[in-house]
């Protein structure tokens, strides 16, 4: 009589969640270093953002935002907001919130 082999134990693999972007760069004004970003959630001044794209990868704290040439403290969802940045960003770059 032959003994049956025990079934191998299943390994549990934890999936690493990739961060979801909170916005996307729609335009960049090179002369004044201002990125136009369309956010998909509300964002306040003072939040650290991570800009990432094909050739872009840097983090920066939001110091000022404008909507229709008026300073705003909170960028509302689905609005295109002008943000002063220290480096060049490109159209289509994704914006992530640093936690």
CA distance 39 to 80: 7
pLDDT tens string 54-86: 999 999 999 999 999 999 999 999 999 999 999
All structural domains of the chain with their residue ranges: 23-97
pTM of the entire predicted model:
0.79
Quote the pLDDT of residue 93.
97
Which CATH homologous superfamily contains domain 23-97?
Answer: Translation factors (2.40.30.10)
Q: What is the pLDDT of residue 1?
A: 64
Average pLDDT over residues 9-21: 82
């Amino acid at each position: 009589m032959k003994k049956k082999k025990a079934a191998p134990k299943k390994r549990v693999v934890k999936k690493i969640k990739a961060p979801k972007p909170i916005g996307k760069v729609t335009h960049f004004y090179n002369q004044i270093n201002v990125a136009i970003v369309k956010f998909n959630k509300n964002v306040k001044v003072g939040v650290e953002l991570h800009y990432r794209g094909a050739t872009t990868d840097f983090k920066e704290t939001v110091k000022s935002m404008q909507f229709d040439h008026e300073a705003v403290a909170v960028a509302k969802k689905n609005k295109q907001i002008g943000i002063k940045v220290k480096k060049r960003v490109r159209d289509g770059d994704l914006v992530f919130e640093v936690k």
